[in-house]
Amino acid sequence: GENVEQHPSTLSVQEGDSAVIKCTYSDSASNYFPWYKQELGKRPQLIIDIRSNVGEKKDQRIAVTLNKTAKHFSLHITETQPEDSAVYFCATHTGGFKTIFGAGTRLFVKA
Amino acid sequence: EADIYQTPRYLVIGTGKKITLECSQTMGHDKMYWYQQDPGMELHLIHYSYGVNSTEKGDLSSESTVSRIRTEHFPLTLESARPSHTSQYLCASSETSTGDTEAFFGQGTRLTVV
């Protein structure tokens, strides 16, 4: 069946460094790729998304890149800050059907 | 304010009890979901719905049921709670009539079965 693999499961960086989280998906019909951030004890919230007709999208310190041929997409966070510490989930959607989430990446930003 | 609401936020119940977790959204979204999540861990899809009178099972649904009689309401029922059901349950909704969009999550119900 369809699946999304997310790596790494845990990532620790120094404040100010960059962080990269990668996801690989199996369903070539996937057309929407959101990223969610879940802070401790809170609900997941969208931080950035990208659609299949776009290769890259940026919003201040965060960016997402998509390679449809290789079926992978990545989240890039630059100039990390302690408040970036959270669990990040990638997801894929296929034509309004079931959403598939990655297993999550726990990001620690050390001050 | 348009949002997605879950009640109760916390629940402690005994083994064998029947419980219903409530979820309502005021955003007019057509699609709704239930996820089970241990804190900070993977999101496991339990059930989802495309709209009124539509429900589908996810990966982890065999011990629970849902209904979608109204667009805004998507309750989850556990017929006989067990300690293995202890977890956080997250409800979510999204609008898909104009293409896929982000999912909005509720605050969650933290369930403990003793």
Indicate if the pLDDT at residue A39 is higher than 90: yes
Cross-chain residue pair B103–A34, CB shorter than 8 Å: yes
Q: What is the mean pLDDT of chain A?
A: 94
Query: Which of the residue ranges A2-11, A52-61, A83-92, B53-62 would you say has the lowest mean pLDDT?
Result: B53-62
Of residues A39, A29, A35, the one with CA closest to residue A6: A35
Burial status of residue B7 (CB atoms within 10 A of its CB: 0-12, 13-18, 19 or more): middle
Instruction: Say if B100 is an interface residue toward chain A (CB within 8 Å).
Output: yes
Of residues A43, A109, A64, the one with CA closest to residue A82: A109
Burial pattern B96-108, b for ≥16 Cβ within 10 A else e, equals beeebbbbbbbbb
Which chain B positions have a beta carbon within 8 Å of A32's beta carbon? 99-101
Cross-chain residue pair B100–A31, CB shorter than 8 Å: yes
Instruction: Say if B59 is an interface residue toward chain A (CB within 8 Å).
Output: no
pLDDT of residue B83: 96
pLDDT of residue B49: 94
| Alpha carbon B72 to its chain's center | 12
Indicate if the pLDDT at residue B59 is higher than 90: no
pLDDT-derived band at B60, boundaries 50, 70, 90:
confident
pLDDT of residue A12: 98
Minimal CA separation from B58 to chain A, in Å: 9
Burial status of residue A22 (CB atoms within 10 A of its CB: 0-12, 13-18, 19 or more): middle
Neighbours of B43 (CB within 10 A): 27
Indicate if the pLDDT at residue A97 is higher than 90: no
Q: What does the pLDDT look like over B24-40, one tens digit per residue?
A: 999 999 999 999 999 88
Cross-chain residue pair B100–A46, CB shorter than 8 Å: no
Integer Cα distance of B106 and B114 in angstroms:
24
Indicate if the pLDDT at residue A95 is higher than 70: no
Q: For residue A20, list its beta bridge partners.
A: A76
Cross-chain residue pair A93–B56, CB shorter than 8 Å: no
Please name the member of B39, B45, B100 whose beta carbon is closest to the beta carbon of A93: B100
Counted across chains A and B, CB pairs separated by less than 8 A come out at: 52
Indicate if the pLDDT at residue A96 is higher than 60: no
Q: What is the mean pLDDT of chain B?
A: 93
User: What is the mean pLDDT of the segment spanning B58-68?
Assistant: 86
Looking at residue B41, the DSSP 8-state letter turns out to be: S
Which chain B positions have a beta carbon within 8 Å of A91's beta carbon? 103
pLDDT-derived band at A94, boundaries 50, 70, 90:
confident
Looking at residue A11, the DSSP 8-state letter turns out to be: E
| Between A27 and B61, residue with greater pLDDT | A27
Cross-chain residue pair A98–B45, CB shorter than 8 Å: yes
pLDDT of residue B2: 81
Nearest CA in chain A to B98: A96
B103: helix, strand or coil: coil
User: What is the mean pLDDT of the segment spanning B53-64?
Assistant: 86
Please name the member of B41, B96, B102 whose beta carbon is closest to the beta carbon of A49: B102
